[in-house]
Structure formats: C-alpha cells, structure tokens
Amino acid sequence: MGEVKISVYSTDDKYKTTLTNNKHSILADEPLEKGGKDEGMNPFEILLSSLGACTSITMRMYANHKGYDLSNLRVELSLKQEEGKTIITRNIFLGTEFTEEISNRLLQVAKFCPVSKILEGQISIENKLTNNK
C-alpha cells in the first residue's frame, strides 16, 4: 500500500467536518449531547467503520478465492475504554454454516486484515502545524 491521504475540513456548523480523499467524501460530527448536530458519525465510529470495512473486504476476498459463500457476512464492532486501555470487540457473523476448520481459518483471515494489523501494531503520529493552505 502506498501513502494514503485524507483532508479534513471544518465547517461553520460547530463540530461537523467533511473528510475527503478528493474523490469521495463523508461527514463527521459529534452527537447532540456533546454539542454537535449528529449529522455524521463521530470519530470513534469512523475508526470502527474502517476496521469493519477492512475485515469484511479481506474476508470476502479470501472467500471468493476459495469459493465460499459469504454474501451475508456482517461485522459488528464496539469500542470501550477502561483502566487506561482501549478494547475493541469485533463480532463476525458469517451468515452461512461452515466446518469448524473453515470457520477458524476465516477468523484468522479477519485478524490479518491490513487495518487490524495497523491497529495492533506500533503507531507513530507525526504532527506538523502550518499557517498556510
């Protein structure tokens, strides 16, 4: 994977932001109880969405290669923070009965999706501040 770039633009609507890769855009916002207008997913939901999408796509690629039917695949995610630790729970519903061996292999494939590997690895965030566009 090459470099991925996203631009995030604030709007006049308090916390609502537009996220774009110059081809596709999505909205992010905070819920009403946090002062937003709840017009988009909050940042934590977007993070989970990225993991869920990557999990689903990776599993579907593997299943297509092997000829398995995962047309009813569903991935549900939750995030909670407790005692200084972030815990993400990923529940995968295959929608089809498979042998225990195939099910275990599909679970391994899910664990190896690229976003999962990034989140479980060491992440470094470099911050730069500029005053121009």
CATH number at residue 89: 3.30.300.20
- What's the domain count of the chain? 2
pLDDT of 131: 86
- Residue 55 structure tokens: 């999990």
Cα–Cα distance, 42 to 52 (Å, whole number): 15
| Domain identity same for 67 and 8 | no
What are the start-end ranges of the H helices in the chain?
43-66, 100-111, 114-120
Check residue 133 and give its pLDDT. Answer: 65
Q: What is the residue range of 9's domain? A: 1-40
Smallest CA-to-CA distance from 56 within 71, 41, 78, 40 is with 71
pLDDT at 132: 72
Q: What is the mean pLDDT of each run of 10 residues along the chain (133 residues)?
A: 90 93 95 95 97 98 96 97 95 96 97 96 93 74
Q: Are residues 52 and 111 in the same domain?
A: yes
Listed in sequence order, the residues at least 6 apart from 14 whose beta carbon sits closer than 8 Å to its beta carbon are 30, 35, 36, 37
pTM metric for this prediction: 0.91
pLDDT of 38-65, one tens digit each?
Answer: 999 999 999 999 999 999 999 999 999 9
127 domain residue, yes or no:
no
